[in-house]
Copies of this chain bind each other. A is one copy, B any other.
Amino acid sequence: MHSLQFTAESSANGVLARDFTVGGVPGVLWSPASGADRAPLVLLAHGGGNHKKHPAMTGRARLLVTGCGFHAAVIDAPGHGDRPRSAHDEAEIAELFRARAAGEPEGPVVVRYNAHLAELAVPEYRATLDALQDLPEIGAAGPVGFWGLNMGTAIGVPFVADEPRITAAVFGQHWPDVLAAQAQRITVPIEFDLQWDDEHISREEGLALFDAFASQEKSLHVNAGRHKELPRFEADSAARFFTRHLTAAADRPA
């Protein structure tokens, strides 16, 4: 069991940002600067080729912290951000670039590489959650959400499938090949994003992954546009989804 070490701290616009490591894996914990004892926590996971402080991560963290009063945390995926790349990482990335340059579909490479990264990342997410729940301002009793798209979904689906502490999750934009069987074991409420004109993931593939979740409460948000054109209002929607599911007072007035 690894404990969490804080390595840096800054505060701006009402958000306290603390860099940390757990077992050598670097991450960031964002919290309300005004304090948020035992507030809900949402674990984030970044997309492929990105890192823990990518604007998509800091933007989602800001929505969760200042909009919802939650804690948000993310770690660098293996081979990403401040973590070293292995020879295997380098070979898979080279293969991805080769496929792209050749005009070949990148799905087969991404699916295979993401499945490999997920095997490494799932125990890291579990150890990070353990360590975060040891912090007095988070604790082990509160609800925990998970929010990851693209590679974040490839990591999140196997993580959430075996992690009963996660009670709501936002996923999306991934192929079903490896994940559909894992998704069939997920029963917590989910919100799922896909792009109607995704140049990498076909409609049939995107819908098949959404369909696979066993959750009684699941919502699919499809928007016109290509893979990287996911509208920013879907981040607002995800934050509202977590507010509905992670806070007791979120019941909608009749």
* Residues of A that sit less than 8 Å from B by CB: 196, 203, 207, 210-211, 215-224, 231-233, 236-237, 240, 244, 252
- Contact call A215/B219, Cβ cutoff below 8 A: no
7 contacts between A and B (CB under 8 A): A196-B211, A207-B207, A218-B224, A220-B220, A220-B221, A233-B240, A236-B252
- Contact call A222/B210, Cβ cutoff below 8 A: yes
| Distance of A221 Cα from B221 Cα, bound (Å) | 5
Residue among B203, B219, B240 making CB contact with A221, cutoff 8 Å: B219
Residue among B210, B215, B224, B237 making CB contact with A216, cutoff 8 Å: B224
| Distance of A218 Cα from B222 Cα, bound (Å) | 8
- Contact call B232/A220, Cβ cutoff below 8 A: no
Chain B residues near A218: list those with CB within 8 A: 196, 223-224
Residue among B203, B217, B219 making CB contact with A222, cutoff 8 Å: B219
Shortest beta-carbon contacts, A-B, top 8? A220-B222, A218-B224, A219-B223, A221-B221, A232-B252, A217-B224, A216-B224, A219-B221
Q: Which B residue's beta carbon lies closest to that of A224?
A: B218
| Distance of A215 Cα from B216 Cα, bound (Å) | 31
